[in-house]
Structure 1
Amino acid sequence: MTSFSGYLPYAFALIIAIPFLVLLRQFVHNYINLKNQEIKLLTVKSNSENKTQSYERMTLFLERMKPSNLIQRFDKDLAAHEFIFLTEKTINEEFEYNSSQQLYITKNSWKNIVDSKNAVLDLLHKTYEGLSGNANLDEFKTIFIMNYMENEDYISATIEDLRREILIIA
């Protein structure tokens, strides 16, 4: 009996410590799970914010590309070919700047954005090719807007598609 009585204080301490260790383990496990859930929620929120910002940026890009907005840019003393060059350069630079937004936008919407950009650039060149050599910039701008208005308003259609998509995401 004497050999067992020497271990009695250790056995008593072990019996008291086991429930505390189990509770501590449960607490740590629950804490880690809650932190993982918090990280997942923050990731989802951040991704949603990125998508929203992408749709906003591309909508702004499309608005700037509307012919009614394009004709207001640059000096009125430019020749038509200079206006076309500067407009095309500006559109391409802004498009390249925003090209990373395709990561957050659906493939179909991105294709519509690219198609809209290319259609505006094509319209610029076709309008210039259709002019007589002595047309001034004001005449070019007027014919450019008229040519755009004769066709489908593809920029507004693309913006409307983006609007519908962002409502689904949000």
Structure 2
Amino acid sequence: MNNTVIFSILIALIILNVLWNFWPAKNKAKGASPILSPSNDANTQLMQLQAYERLVLLVDRIAIPNLVSRLNTPGTSAMETQVLLTQTIKQEFEHNITQQIYVSADAWKAVKNLKDQNIYIINQLAQNLSPDASGTDLNKLLLEYMMTDKKGNLCEVASEIISHEAKQVLS
């Protein structure tokens, strides 16, 4: 099997795992408790909502198309761009790591899976380029991959999970 097929299968498995394990309807079917218990006060709810807001922003900031447009640096090599993109994802994630205290394990895991998937995609596609490829070549390949990937968008799945849980806090 070539690398593209293996890569596509791995991405599909990651997305299926997220959909299977974290889709909100599954939690309802299991009779999972709501995100907030009756003992939570208005301050706790406000903190939770702020955490969900920050996670929505994080998901948007680490989406590959947004990273590419924000960090496009002409004149860099593909390797330099690869390092810049992956370091930025890690820094964004680490900057928001405390938000996991205020959200469900499912929401946090969806964000973590998105981070891991995006780093994986960047690294895999960068490996397919020649050693003398430019950062623009990598960015172009990343955007093409994101546009042609028909298996689903983990960024959208993570956003939906976060949004659903934030709405539960509001109700």
- Identify whether the pair has TM-score above 0.5, normalized to the shorter chain: yes
SS at match of 1:152: coil
Give how far 1:147 is off: 1.9
Q: Which structure features the higher share of helix residues?
A: 1
- Matched length: 129
What are the within-5 Å matches in structure 2 for residues 14-163 of structure 1? 44-72=41-69, 73-149=71-147, 150=149, 151-163=151-163
SS at match of 1:71: helix
Structure 2 unmatched runs, 5+ = 1-39
Could you say which structure has the larger radius of gyration? 1
- Residues in 1 aligned to 2:122 and 2:51: alpha-carbon distance in whole angstroms: 27
Q: Which has the higher contact order (CA 8 A, sep 6+)?
A: 2
SS at match of 1:78: coil
- Residues in 2 aligned to 1:159 and 1:82: alpha-carbon distance in whole angstroms: 29
- Residues in 2 aligned to 1:75 and 1:134: alpha-carbon distance in whole angstroms: 16
- Residues in 2 aligned to 1:137 and 1:92: alpha-carbon distance in whole angstroms: 19
- Residues in 1 aligned to 2:113 and 2:156: alpha-carbon distance in whole angstroms: 13
Give how far 1:143 is off: 1.0
Q: What is the TM-score when the length of structure 1 is the normalising length?
A: 0.71
- Residues in 1 aligned to 2:95 and 2:161: alpha-carbon distance in whole angstroms: 22
Give how far 1:132 is off: 2.5
Runs of 4+ in 1 over 3 A off after TM superposition: none
Give the match for residue 167 of structure 1: 167
Structure 1 unmatched runs, 5+ = 1-42
Q: Which amino acid aligns with 1:80?
A: A
SS at match of 1:148: helix
Post-superposition CA distance 1:105-124 (Å, at most 9, x none) = 11011111000000000000
